[in-house]
Amino acid sequence: MYAIIESCGKQYKVSEGDVVFFEKLDTEEGKKVTFSNVVLVSDDKKVEIGAPYVKGVKVEGKVVAHGKGKKILVYKYKAKKNYRRTQGHRQPFTKVEITKIAMQSAKTETKAEAGTEVKAKTEQVKEASAKVAKTESKTKTEKVEA
């Protein structure tokens, strides 16, 4: 089973037990993190794709550590002007261990939502048919009088 989640402006493919490096998150080490922006969920039998997110599915993880990545050098240079600037950068990250992909509530929500949508549509159809019946009876009475 795996899921594709959206966090920090990027998408990550995760499964239970994976260790993922996210851009820095504002949580302390040892605390739980919940990702609710799940784009896709797949188990052995079926795949659910969200529009834009899958409803009722959450991915839970535990913050293992915070740190900084490898240093990269940023170098500015202008030809023939004696202009050179060197700057280093280390991107902060958060190391998260994925503990659980919870999707049991998605099935019940979709069934409940489908039931309410069907009820609403049947009520609309009944109202429309009642209006049509009223207009037909009015036109019949007008024809008889004429």
Which sequence spans correspond to the domains of the chain? 1-67+93-102, 104-146
pLDDT, residue 146, reads 52
What is the residue-averaged pLDDT of the chain?
A: 86
pLDDT, residue 106, reads 42
Beta strands per DSSP E along 36-144: 38-42, 47-49, 58-68, 72-78, 83-89, 92-102
Q: What is the pTM of this model?
A: 0.65
* Residue closest to 48 by CA, chosen among 118, 105, 131: 105
pLDDT, residue 134, reads 74
pLDDT, residue 140, reads 58
Question: pLDDT tens digit string along 68-88?
Answer: 999 999 999 999 999 999 999
